[in-house]
């Protein structure tokens, strides 16, 4: 599962691994938006982030289990 949210970089903030990281987390870093196309993200939401940054509406993702529940109703 992934969560995407908008935030503002606080002056002087330093990226760091949290005290209790996700077991698959390998690092944390701030990157310029201009380098986003060259970075591998999972899920592949690079274009969605760039579109949102450019002022376009961000599309919400629906989890697979939510889709299956809707089909059952």
- Short-list 39, 66, 67, 34, CA closest to 53: 34
State CA 11 to chain mean position distance.
21
**What does the DSSP 8-state code read for residue 11?**
T
Instruction: Report pLDDT for 28.
Output: 87
Cα separation, 71 vs 68, whole angstroms: 5
Instruction: Report pLDDT for 67.
Output: 52
pLDDT in tens, the chain (73 residues): 566 778 888 899 898 888 888 888 888 888 899 999 999 887 888 888 899 899 998 776 655 555 555 555 5
Instruction: Report pLDDT for 68.
Output: 53
Annotated domain spans of the chain? 33-72
Is the pTM higher than 0.75? The answer reads: no
């Amino acid at each position: 599962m992934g969560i995407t949210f908008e935030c503002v970089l606080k002056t002087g903030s330093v990226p760091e691994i949290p005290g209790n990281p996700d077991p698959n987390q390998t690092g944390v870093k701030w990157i310029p938006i201009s380098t986003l196309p060259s970075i591998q993200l999972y899920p592949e939401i690079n274009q969605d982030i760039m579109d949102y940054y450019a002022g376009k509406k961000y599309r919400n993702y629906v989890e697979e289990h939510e889709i299956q529940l809707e089909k059952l109703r």
